[in-house]
Structure 1
Amino acid sequence: MVKVLVAVDSSEQAERAFAWYVANFHKDDHEVVILHVGEPPKLPTISLAEPGSFPADQISKILIENNKKVNELENKYTILAMNHKIQKSRVLLKSGRAGEEVVDAAKEVGADAIVIGTRGLGTIRRTVLGSVSDYVVHHSKLPVLIVPK
């Protein structure tokens, strides 16, 4: 059995990469691990100099909204996998630096290949920010299928 890790986020490009994998690469005996790496939510700065300034309501609201978005994404890809009749699939959620987490998760689950889309960054932004797909290609020992925009 071949185990394929498909890295996704909430972008349209991730959905296209998943659809491309299903249409062109997926076989019935593949096990598909759908990975979403979320960035930790940006929480307000807490001032230790001002007693009573802890914005608990604001932090709670941010965390609830973040969890809602992650749950919606997990449900979306669970339903997509079921609609495409993928027999063996699961969604894996991680948090951290996307490129590193994709490479680590692929090792952790025993993946045989990685499928990832591109964000379509311009040359300058890609040079300054780096690219998740570029990181994965250069740091993974597995075959990496990059689905362009």
Structure 2
Amino acid sequence: MPLSITEKRRVALAYDGSEDADRLFDWSVKNIVRPESDHIILLSAVQRHEKSSPSLFNKKDEKPKEAELPMLSTTVTKVDEAIKDIEHHPQGQTARQRLEDMSAKLRQINVSSEEHILWGDAKTLLPRYTEAHKVDLLIVGSRGLSTVKSVFLGSVSDACLKNCPCPVLVVRNATI
């Protein structure tokens, strides 16, 4: 008998739109995902940029609003505003389409999934998402930066390893 979504293992996959992330998705589906017992949560963090949309600015001082939307909206109005921003944000539309395409691939192999676009810095939002939602495993890629570059550029995978309450699988791009 098939498992309900609440009984399935919830595997979150962080996706940044790169070719490496595409390979990570394919590798994860082939090596980690169990169609009969997994539910996949596709996560993409989109950094907001000042020039992306006029709605990002306050009228009186023309400074950008918060760098990220709250991950969990509590009102219908905030949800509607976030959806409108996605529709008009150049990266948001691309991220949405990519996640929908990945979800369609998962449906073809009978894997249930959901897609979420998180507005802001992935290093902050991925751990915050795993804290706020039931996630049994987070899969992230690693570009394999040297220690020096990683210190200066920051590392999403490192932040997830340190701050996520669930197990985190970091997959080096060189291995996939």
Q: Please say whether Structure 1 and Structure 2 have the same fold, judged by a TM-score greater than 0.5.
A: yes
Is 1:78 the equivalent of 2:85? no
In 2, Cα distance between equivalents of 1:33 and 1:64? 19
Amino acid across the alignment from 1:12: E
In 1, Cα distance between equivalents of 2:121 and 2:99? 21
CA separation of 1:86 and 1:146: change in aligned 2, threshold 3 A: farther
**2:42 aligned residue (34, 40, 43):** 34
In 1, Cα distance between equivalents of 2:86 and 2:15? 21
Q: Deviations over 1:4-59 (max 9, x none)?
A: 11111121111111111101000122111111111111339xxxxxxxxx7xxxxx
RMSD: 2.3
TM-score by length of 1: 0.77
Q: Specify every segment of 5 or more residues in structure 1 that has no aligned partner in the other structure, as ranges.
A: 45-53, 55-62
Q: Specify every segment of 5 or more residues in structure 2 that has no aligned partner in the other structure, as ranges.
A: 1-7, 53-61, 63-84
Are the aligned partners of 2:46 and 2:91 in contact in 1 as well (CA < 8 Å)? no
Runs of 4+ displaced beyond 6 Å? 63-66
CA separation of 1:76 and 1:17: change in aligned 2, threshold 3 A: same
Q: Percent identity?
A: 25
Count of matched residue positions in the alignment of Structure 1 and Structure 2? 132
**More relative contact order in 1 or in 2 (CA 8 Å, sep 6+)?**
1
Is 1:11 the equivalent of 2:35? no
- Number of the residue aligned with 2:169: 145
In 1, Cα distance between equivalents of 2:105 and 2:116? 19
Are the aligned partners of 1:4 and 1:113 in contact in 2 as well (CA < 8 Å)? yes
In 2, Cα distance between equivalents of 1:77 and 1:136? 21
